[in-house]
Amino acid sequence: MSALTLFEKLWRAHEVVAETPETPAVLYIDLHLIHEVTSPQAFSMLRSRGIGVRRRERTFATMDHSTPTDRAQLFGAVPIRMESAAHQIHELERNCADFQVELLGLKHARRGIVHIIGPELGLTQPGKTIVCGDSHTSTHGAFGALAFGIGTTEVGHVLATQCLLQRKPKTLGVEVEGPLPAGVTAKDLVLAIIHTLGVGGGTGHVLEYLGPTIRALSMDERMTVCNMSIEAGAKAGLIAPDETTYEFLQGRERAPSGAALERALESWRQLPTDAGARFDRTLSIDASRLAPMITYGTNPGMSVAVTGTVPVRLDDRVHTKALEYMGLTAGQPILGQPIEYAFLGSCTNGRLSDLRAAAGLLKGRKVARGVTFLVVPGSQEIKREAEAEGLDRVFIEAGADWRESGCSMCLGMNGDLVTKGAYCVSTSNRNFEGRQGVGARTLLASPITATASAIAGRIADPRELMN
């Protein structure tokens, strides 16, 4: 048998019917994650056809996109202020009850962002196919799972059949070598990869991240990298499972244990890409040459080192339009640009390690006057763990706003908004026009860059605050 990549092994294991020039393949789905935004129309389709959910035990729901992070709204002291959000939450409750789908409801102790609670509970496992009506489903690829976002119609297809029609993507191996310098994080690494590839460079491909630098990353860091694969246009991102993966899953509520774990490990250890396997394309990155990164434009590929300048690109209409929206000038230093907001959270950087890193930089310091620093844990479990460590006190005493879990300021659909024309250094994953609110100007960065900027009241280099 010829040498196979991780992706090819996953595809072969789940291909029910092979694709032909006329028809896509039929792919079996092991885990379907759903939330309140992209599922209502899918459930309506089931009702209209009089059919149920094919495999309820492989379907799992949570609330995250529209959920308020304000405690009073979340726990009912005051009504949810956004009528559209309240409606979506009610609809998911009704649909999950009607179709007997397990749901982590609004007040559930384990509720959180869908791409955080999947790994947290042990639902995300190597070798699985995982889909969700959300672009950043690629997060789960950090475990060696083939995970990707799907549209609302496809959500309906999976609910009804537990299968999906798919064309087979190509493969792109991203080899990363060299240690990450001080102050450079996994977020900076993936922003640099997207900058190199461009926002369309991964189109039609599944990225596999390889090399000693990737192997040295924690699971939290691997999830950050895979999370943003879609921002390079890729179908999915993958990292082969190893001992770091298995240690993370050990003892988690929905992960296998005992004899089942031993059988699973035997299977999981066969997944990594074989020696000699060929990718359709490859890319090499020297991580030792990287600096903290920040975006300046209106897509995640528009980034520079935090010590760099806004690029000059003559006769580039997209670039010119982006700078006009952002209120920035070609050639200006990005360092020192005043900001009004900072956001720490999202499925990219809302994990406990992200909160720890930010709190470590913030301890004994204050958020600059005039800056709103919103800190939103990725799940209620992470919130409890952070509070047990006293991280909440660090944020609150510094003047940050400590919230309940949710997608929050990553997108402007739950009440957490950036005001028109204001700048926000955000640890989320998209900086499109209006993403954080009408006229909001988003600058993507790592947790420590966002924190350093919140302290300074302007875009800052986190290395200047590190001991």
Q: Read off the pLDDT of each residue in 100-112 and give the average, rounded to a whole number.
A: 97
pLDDT value at 162 more than 90: yes
8-state DSSP, 141: G
Burial label for 291, CB within 10 Å (0-12, 13-18, 19+), is middle
Strand partners, 205: 170
The answer to the question of residue 348 being in a domain is yes
pLDDT value at 154 more than 80: yes
pTM (two decimals): 0.97
pLDDT value at 101 more than 70: yes
**157 plus 203 within the same structural domain:** no
Q: Which of 105, 140, 166 is the last residue of a domain?
A: 166
CA distance 149 to 410: 17
The answer to the question of residue 243 being in a domain is yes
**280 plus 303 within the same structural domain:** no
pLDDT band at 78 (very low <50, low <70, confident <90, very high): confident
- When divided into structural domains, the chain yields a total of 3
The answer to the question of residue 259 being in a domain is no
pLDDT value at 264 more than 70: yes
Q: Read off the pLDDT of each residue in 215-230 and give the average, rounded to a whole number.
A: 98
Helix (H) or strand (E) holding 317: helix 317-326
Contacts of 236 (CB under 8 A, 6+ apart): 137, 138, 141, 146, 147, 148, 169, 206, 207, 226, 229
Q: How far apart are the first and last CA of the chain?
A: 53
The answer to the question of residue 15 being in a domain is yes
CATH at residue 206: 3.40.1060.10
**CA 5, 10, 16, 21: dihedral to nearest 10 degrees?**
-40
Helix (H) or strand (E) holding 343: strand 341-344
pLDDT value at 89 more than 90: yes
CA distance 34 to 18: 27
**272 plus 373 within the same structural domain:** no
Per-position DSSP letters for 377-424, written without gaps between them: -SBHHHHHHHHHTTHHHHHHHHT-EE--SSSGGGSSSSS--PPTT-EE
Contact 64, 406 (CB under 8 A): yes
List pLDDT tens digits, range 339-389. Answer: 999 999 999 999 999 999 999 999 999 999 999 999 999 999 999 999 999
**272 plus 328 within the same structural domain:** no
Contact 294, 445 (CB under 8 A): yes
The answer to the question of residue 432 being in a domain is yes
pLDDT value at 67 more than 90: yes
**313 plus 451 within the same structural domain:** yes
Burial label for 221, CB within 10 Å (0-12, 13-18, 19+), is buried
The answer to the question of residue 257 being in a domain is no
**301 plus 445 within the same structural domain:** yes
Q: Which amino acid is at 382?
A: I
pLDDT band at 254 (very low <50, low <70, confident <90, very high): very high
* pLDDT value, residue 79: 86
Strand partners, 270: none
Q: Which of 137, 166, 195 is the last residue of a domain?
A: 166
Burial label for 100, CB within 10 Å (0-12, 13-18, 19+), is exposed
Residue 127 lies in domain: 6-166
List pLDDT tens digits, range 135-149. Answer: 999 999 999 999 999
**336 plus 237 within the same structural domain:** no
* pLDDT value, residue 419: 98
**279 plus 245 within the same structural domain:** yes
**378 plus 279 within the same structural domain:** no
**61 plus 210 within the same structural domain:** no
Q: Which of 166, 185, 218 is the last residue of a domain?
A: 166
The answer to the question of residue 424 being in a domain is yes
pLDDT value at 1 more than 90: no
pLDDT value at 129 more than 90: yes
What percent of the chain has a predicted confidence (pLDDT) above 70? 100
**354 plus 433 within the same structural domain:** yes
**149 plus 237 within the same structural domain:** no
* Of 141, 172, 349, residue with least CA distance to 239: 141
The answer to the question of residue 1 being in a domain is no
* Of 69, 122, 135, 124, residue with least CA distance to 350: 69
Largest Cα span, the chain: 64
The torsion angles phi and psi of 51, rounded to 5 degrees, stand at -120, 160
- Reduced to 3 states (helix: H, G, I; strand: E, B; else coil), residue 455 is helix
Distances from the Cα of 408 to the Cα of 345, 347, 351, angstroms: 8, 10, 14
Q: Which amino acid is at 99?
A: F
Average pLDDT, the chain: 97
The torsion angles phi and psi of 153, rounded to 5 degrees, stand at -60, -40
pLDDT value at 467 more than 70: no
CA distance 84 to 121: 29
CATH at residue 114: 3.30.499.10
∠ at Cα 426 (422, 428), nearest 5°? Answer: 130
**CA 184, 189, 194, 197: dihedral to nearest 10 degrees?**
120
